[in-house]
Structure 1
Amino acid sequence: MGKPQSITISATPQQVFARYEAVESWPQWDPEVHAVSLPEGLLVGARGWLKPRKGPRSGIVVTEVTHGQSFTVESPLPLAKLRFHHRIVATAEGCTTTHWLSYGGPLGFLVALTAGRAIAATLPQTLAGLKAECEGTAPASAP
């Protein structure tokens, strides 16, 4: 499992989760997402694709959703699985949102050592973009 990255957002968990549910808007606030398609929406079993800013377009499947609290998207790779976890916890200031990666399959350890490290390094920028989107402020850096 990758090191979780968190940020405090001055918005309710429901407001943050609504940004996640608006899948087509992810590229607007996540500088690492070039394009994404999830026609069924953020529902368990929904399948689509994600094109990162760097790298090839990859298939994705939603494997877990707890509305207003968490969701997990998995990208199946040859002999490995890359999972993107998202969790929202209510706080007195609004909420704390956490993103992290986990890996599965026989070659999951190899994904963790290669692409996983590069992806994990982008999590703070993704969270900053989400915070800016939810709070209606300018993002820290342009996509």
Structure 2
Amino acid sequence: MGKPQSIAISATPQEVFARYEAVESWAQWDPEVRSVSLPEGLLVGARGWLKPRKGPRSAIVVTEVTHGRSFTVESPLPLAKLRFHHRLEATETGCTTQHWLSYGGPLGFLLALTAGRSIEAGMVQTLAGLKAECEGTAPMR
């Protein structure tokens, strides 16, 4: 499992989760995402694809959703699985948002040592972008 990254956001978990549900807008606030398609929306079993800033377009599947609280998206790769976990915890001033990776499959360990490090390094910017989007401080595009 990758190291969880977290950030405090001055918005309710439901307000932040609404940004996650607006899948088509992820690339607007997440600098690590070029484009994404998830036609069925953020529902368990939904399938689509994500094109990261670096690397090829990859298939994605939503494997877990607890509305307003968490979701997990999995990218199945040859002999490996990359899982992106997202969790929201309510606080007195809004919520704490946490993102982390986990790996599965026979070559999951290799994925963690290679692409995983780069992806984890980008999580800080992803969380900062989400915070700015939710708090209305995102730069005008």
Provide the TM-score with structure 2 as the length reference. Answer: 0.98
Q: How many residue pairs are counted as aligned between the two chains?
A: 141
- TM-superposed deviation, 1:104: 0.1
The residue number in structure 2 matching 1:43 is 43
The answer on 1:55 being equivalent to 2:19 is: no
The residue number in structure 2 matching 1:105 is 105
Q: Deviations over 1:89-110 (max 9, x none)?
A: 0000100000000000000000
Aligned to 1:20, the other structure's residue is in SS state helix
Task: List alignment gaps of at least 5 residues for structure 2.
Answer: none
The residue number in structure 2 matching 1:71 is 71
For residue 38 of structure 2, what is the amino acid of its counterpart?
L
Aligned to 2:44, the other structure's residue is in SS state coil
Q: Deviations over 1:64-121 (max 9, x none)?
A: 0000000000000000000000000000010000000000000000000000000000
For residue 16 of structure 1, what is the amino acid of its counterpart?
V
The residue number in structure 2 matching 1:138 is 138
Task: List alignment gaps of at least 5 residues for structure 1.
Answer: none
Query: RMSD of the alignment, in Å?
Result: 1.3
The answer on 1:126 being equivalent to 2:93 is: no
C-alpha distance in 1 between matches for 2:107 and 2:99: 22
C-alpha distance in 2 between matches for 1:78 and 1:136: 40
The residue number in structure 2 matching 1:13 is 13
- TM-superposed deviation, 1:134: 0.1
C-alpha distance in 2 between matches for 1:68 and 1:138: 22
For residue 134 of structure 2, what is the amino acid of its counterpart?
C
- TM-superposed deviation, 1:31: 0.1
Which aligned runs of 4 or more in structure 1 are off by greater than 6 angstroms? none
- TM-superposed deviation, 1:138: 2.8
Provide the TM-score with structure 1 as the length reference. Answer: 0.97
Aligned to 2:34, the other structure's residue is in SS state strand
